[in-house]
Structure 1
């Protein structure tokens, strides 16, 4: 039996592992990149979520 047929005919599960690891790795990289960008941001440019979420028409 040729090596190519053996290797590509039955991957032994590594291809299924890539179907899980590749998207998780992509999400981890995107979160890392977003966190890195947020840390470099000036404090003046960062959002103030407390004032943004205050309703003008609160019932209080």
Structure 2
């Protein structure tokens, strides 16, 4: 994640009314909350310190943040 936090993608789900694709993901820190975000938003870029960066970056399979 562009804010230097790690997340694990658990799967793709679909909104029950609109069928919009959503990414289901879990934070790898703190309470390990589950989150959903629209698929398109998950893949978009954001501005950080004047530069355009990916919102999320793939780190590879089974990568876990060390405590």
Q: TM-score band, normalised by the shorter chain?
A: under 0.3
- TM-score of the superposition, structure 1-length normalised? 0.21
- Structure with max Cα Rg: 1
- TM-score of the superposition, structure 2-length normalised? 0.20
Structure that is richer in helix per residue? 1
Which structure's relative contact order is higher, taking Cα pairs within 8 Å and 6+ residues apart? 2
